[in-house]
Copies of this chain bind each other. A is one copy, B any other.
Amino acid sequence: MHGYDKHAFEPFAVTVDLAVLTLRAGALHVLLVERGQEPYAGRWALPGGFLLPAESAETAARRELAEETGLADVTGLHLEQLRTYSEPDRDPRMRVVSVAFAALLPDPPEPHGGGDAAEARWVPYDEARGLAFDHDRILADARDRVGAKLEYTCLATAFCPAEFTLGELQQVYETVWGTALDRPNFRRKVLATPGFVEPVPGAARLTGGRGKPAAVYRAGAAATLHPPLLRTPREGRPA
């Protein structure tokens, strides 16, 4: 059914929307922009924009990521397609099909980026409600996806700077999952997974001033965790 002459087809506007996530002060934060015009004028929304004629959704997403964060180099950042939202009424003006992405940053780079964004701010995830369009749902889906992928991939390092301690890595899990983990067990598990992290030879860092300095690691070559690092299964989950 790819015959263009058999079915008339409607042209659609295609956008990308980004859930840009980071960890700040021990809490998950998301980058939001304030809308300057209708619809949803004055409301907060996920950054995003239209695909340019020669762009793929991935290219457009990375361009928007650079524009909205104001970072000079976004090539190393984790960017991942979530899914596409295409409900006919998701934009009151016209048909807009949006390809949603999740982007993960180590720590906040800047309060908010320049570019032509009216205003961009890091907002704690828990306070990011009542967003424009269906962005509440996109953001929730992004968090769910990231939380799930922490279990069986090395995604957690995408939230960390190039060099990090195991305590920092553990905080990624604890913050995204909202649960506390046992430190010795977490350490044993991470170190037992080949390719998850690799030690930086001579380095050690004082994590908070007090306490024993922690060894420093960097991300390893592995992409997946075998076996996975499972969340404690909460009680009965029928659906």
A-B contact pairs, 30 of them (CB 8 A): A1-B47, A1-B48, A1-B50, A1-B68, A1-B117, A2-B35, A2-B49, A4-B13, A7-B50, A10-B14, A11-B11, A11-B13, A12-B13, A12-B97, A14-B14, A14-B86, A53-B88, A55-B88, A56-B87, A57-B84, A57-B86, A84-B84, A86-B99, A97-B97, A195-B236, A221-B238, A221-B239, A223-B237, A223-B239, A226-B233
Main SS of the interface on chain A? Answer: loop
Chain A 114-126 per-residue mask, 1 if CB under 8 angstroms from chain B, else 0: 0011000000000
The chain B residue sitting closest to A52, CB to CB, is B10
Complex-state Cα separation, A51 to B49, whole angstroms: 21
Contact of A81 among B9, B10, B50, B83 (CB under 8 A): B83
Count of identical protomers in the assembly: 2
Cβ of A86 and Cβ of B56 under 8 Å apart? yes
Cβ of A97 and Cβ of B14 under 8 Å apart? yes
Contacts of A14 in B (CB 8 A): 9-10, 12, 14, 86, 97
Given contacts A2-B35, A12-B12, A37-B3, is CB(A224)–CB(B237) below 8 Å?
Answer: yes
The chain B residue sitting closest to A67, CB to CB, is B1
Cβ of B222 and Cβ of A50 under 8 Å apart? no
Chain A 165-185 per-residue mask, 1 if CB under 8 angstroms from chain B, else 0: 000000000000000000000
Q: How many residues of A contact B (CB 8 A)?
A: 64
Contacts of A116 in B (CB 8 A): 1, 6
